[in-house]
Structures are given as structure tokens and as C-alpha cells.
Structure 1
């Protein structure tokens, strides 16, 4: 393969037959020029990106600081190894672009905020662990202290790059619904829910599966009429809270839970009431 275009010291564009490829490796373009042969022993990654994706990636590699690109690529490589799964090639564009912008903001003293950090941490645990690894790597390599809110941003990028997973917008929607649900329960029942508690985790896990059933059009687990009546009377406050929150979800998101699901959620809310 011969160099067609040098993007930076670690990335070049080549033509392999009729295919345009981006080849990356430490120092792969050092003291090289167009038409020079790419040193095979320096090749670390080869990307076959098409159309606008190729142009966007080339633009990023040509304009972003090389240190940002290098750390982003290490995070991606670590994520694929840690998750034992390939990631969509688009992450090389999305995460690199996002991370460089975030690092510039942090270096300039601007805060990074993410209202969904707790939900992302719980929903995507392994991806969040990748984000924590990235936090340490960025500190070690660049001397920048990344906040937990940025760890959550990195985790979400990694999650949505996994094959056969929901898009970024769908993942954010799920996290937003869970956050709104918890906030509504706290407001209606006058609770303060600790996001590290086992009861919080059980509630979020249950609700997550319930949302999946709604999205997939699956049937909900039925409940005996006598049991439903018992929950309504014995755990009146929890059931009324669950019913009100279910009404909120229907109004805001069009999510319609049956009576049986409202009752099951009430049982989780009751556990929270017992603690407070």
C-alpha cells in the first residue's frame, strides 16, 4: 500500500486497489510523503469508511490534536477488549470528536454536566467501567481530571457503538425516563431515594424490563385479582404513588402500563417507603 494522503503523523490515506482506506499506527507517516510505501510493521488499524464517514474521519484526523486522537483510540481498543465485542466503526468519529471537544472545555475551565450520570452508571455498568478506565488513562496521558459526568458520556458512546444496540437517542430516552420516574416517585411520596441502595437498583431493573416490554409489544405478567386488591388496600400510599407516576409516563411519553404492572411497581415503592 502506498500513501495517498498524510492526515497526521499517525494516520494516512491509502488506496488498496479501488478501495480508499485510512491506516493508523504510531509514527506511520514520520518522514514520509505521498506515494511512499506504508511500513507494514507500523500498521495498527485499518479503516474502510465510505462516503461522508470517510471525509469526516479524515477531517478529524487532520485537525484535532494528535494526543486527543491517540487517547480516544486507546479507549476504543480497551473497550473492545474489555467488552469482548467489536464496536461500530463510527465510534472512531463520534467518540474522538466528542472527547476532543470535552477535553478542550475542561482545559479551559468549563464544566462538563450530565444529568443522567446515575442512570447511565446503573444501566450500562461495563461501559461505565470502560469510562472509568478512560478517566485514569486521560489523567495519566494528558494530565486532565475528567469528572464523573464525562465518564458517563464516554460510557454512552461505547454502549451505542456496540452492534445491535439502540441508538444514542434511544439510550438517552431510556435513561431520561428512568430519571423522571424516580424524581416523580420522590416528589409524590416525599422520598429521598439513594441511588446506591439495593431497593433503588431493584426498582430501576424492574422498570427497565417493563419499558422493554412496552417497546417490544410483549405481554406483561398477569396478577391475581385478589392480590391486586390486597396491594391496593394494604399498600395504599405506594399504589397511589405508582398509579400517579404511571399516569405521568403515559402523558409525557405515551407509555401505558396495565394495572398488574402498576401493582408490581407499587411493591418496589413500598420497599422504599419502609426504609424512609
Structure 2
């Protein structure tokens, strides 16, 4: 019924945990038996509340895009990422803030591209991967992504894909 359960478990484990606790508390206090799957929409509401959005569709779309981004990175590097790792969690946190900036029309952009040029030079493989991620983001978010945001994505991808950070 809720296809995003696996993504929520990986991307928002704390919110899913609290969703499960809420379902257990309701079941314990009321004369009803909510199914365990009810924790999933509750967790999505908790994620949504963290962004002060009020729009659950935004959270649903964001979660699906995060999963697609991780798939692009895994495909580009030919190895799975440890989606339960702190490093993937940090990357998701960066993406959350990125989504908020895009949603607020406040992307990082110095208009000179100096930052993006430096990252492209220092991490060409990660930058190439970030360009592919940018294509997905532009398609899904229906707006252009700045070169500086692409540079930040590349920097985070480079950090995330260091050999000791991918699953062996």
C-alpha cells in the first residue's frame, strides 16, 4: 500500500521510528487497532513538518527524488552505497537543504562560476555525476539548477564516494 516504506526507512529512520511509536501509542490508548503500515504516512507528515511546507506531495516527491539520486550515483560509480551509513545520511541532509533552497527560490549562485569551476577541476568524475543528478533535478523540480549548486552536489558526491565510503 505504501511503496515508499523502504526509502523512508533509509532516508528518514527517526521519523519512521516516531511514526511507529505513534501507532503503538494510539493502539494502546484507544479501542482501535491501526495497522503497522499507518506509521508510513505519519512519518511522511513528520518529515513534511520539518520543512514547514504543509504539502505532503512535496515530501513524497522529495523522497522519491532522493532515491533516484542515490541510484544515479551507484550506477555512475558501479558500486552500491551503504544507505544506512552516516555519510549517506549527511548527503541526504544536504539534499534536504537544497530542496528548501529550490522551493524558496534561493539557490546558491555567485554568477561567476568560480566555485563550480574549482570543484569541476578537483573532482571531475563527481562533477560529471552531479551534472547527471542536476538533469534529474531539473526535470523533477521543473526549474534550472545553478552551476554553484551543481558544484556543491559534486563536492558532496566526491565525499560520499571516496573508496572507504562505499559498500565493499
Q: 1:197 to 1:154 in 2, by over 3 A?
A: same
For residues 221 and 204 of structure 1, what CA distance do their matches in structure 2 show?
21
Higher relative contact order (CA 8 A, sep 6+): 2
Point out where structure 1 has 5 or more consecutive residues left out of the alignment: 1-111
CA displacement, residues 222-275 of structure 1 (integer Å, 9 cap, x when unaligned): 497554333212211111000111012213432421111111111111122212
The CA RMSD over aligned residues, in Å, is 3.3
Report what 1:184 is aligned to: 72
CA displacement, residues 45-100 of structure 1 (integer Å, 9 cap, x when unaligned): xxxxxxxxxxxxxxxxxxxxxxxxxxxxxxxxxxxxxxxxxxxxxxxxxxxxxxxx
Query: Number of aligned pairs?
Result: 161
Q: TM-score, normalised by structure 2?
A: 0.74
Structure with the larger strand share: 1
Deviation at 1:202, TM superposition (A): 1.5
Flag the structure with larger Rg. Answer: 1
Q: TM-score, normalised by structure 1?
A: 0.48
* SS of residue matched to 2:161: helix
Point out where structure 2 has 5 or more consecutive residues left out of the alignment: none
What is the correspondence of 1:96-245 to structure 2 with a 5 Å cutoff?
A: 112-119=1-8, 122-123=11-12, 125=14, 127-137=15-25, 146=36, 150-157=38-45, 165-220=53-108, 222=110, 225=113, 227-245=115-133
For residues 134 and 98 of structure 2, what CA distance do their matches in structure 1 show?
12
